[in-house]
Amino acid sequence: MSSLTFGIIKPDAVKKGHSGKIIDKILAGGFTIRGMKLIHMTKKEAEGFYAVHAERPFYGELTEFMSSAPCVVMALEKENAVKAWRDLMGATNPAEAEVGTLRREFAGSIGENAVHGSDSDENATIEVSYFFSKLELV
């Protein structure tokens, strides 16, 4: 059965003009885009989104970066969407990401790593609903 996951094209990738190429790879990878918008998060919105990382040493840097410029938020549908999107993104650290993955191709560092994806179905539901209302999902 198909399921939803949540993805972000992060500010580094948007700024470098990689959004179109990343969306092409999402479509070529067999995902159906159910929701997509360009937003510019406030610091507070980024802090809320990454609240699970609040105790991590990189929380300040992460939320500063995510609210520094626009990003593209997406609700993506596919069979086993969470795993499929994580496979397409590659490892969090681009130095460890496999050839052919988005992070290998577009990410510069662990902090500015081009894309985000949910890590479980449960978090996908929470993350999609953080950014999208029911009416915005087609």
Q: Which is nearer to ligand CMP, 58 or 130 (CB)?
A: 58
Q: Which of 90, 106, 113, 114 is close enough to bind ligand CMP by CB under 6 A?
A: 113
Q: Which is nearer to ligand CMP, 1 or 109 (CB)?
A: 109
In Å, what is the CA distance from 51 to each residue of 59, 73, 83?
9, 17, 22
We find the least distance from the C-beta atom of residue 69 to ligand CMP, in angstroms, to be: 15
Q: Tell me the angle at which helices 121-131 and 81-89 cross, rounded to the nearest 10 degrees.
A: 80
Q: Which of 25, 32, 111, 123 is close enough to bind ligand CMP by CB under 6 A?
A: 111
Site string for ligand CMP, 43-82 (x = CB under 6 A): ----------x----x--xx--------------------
Q: Which is nearer to ligand CMP, 61 or 98 (CB)?
A: 61
Taking every pair of C-alpha atoms in the chain, what is the biggest distance, in angstroms?
39
Is 116 marked active-site?
Answer: yes
Render 23-52 in DSSP notation, one character per residue: HHHHHHTT-EEEEEEEE---HHHHHHHTGG
Q: Which helix (H) or strand (E) holds 8?
A: strand 2-9
Whether 91 contacts 103, CB under 8 Å: yes
> What residues act catalytically?
116
Using CB under 6 A as the criterion, which residues of the chain lie in contact with ligand CMP when the complex forms? 53, 58, 61-62, 92, 110-111, 113, 116
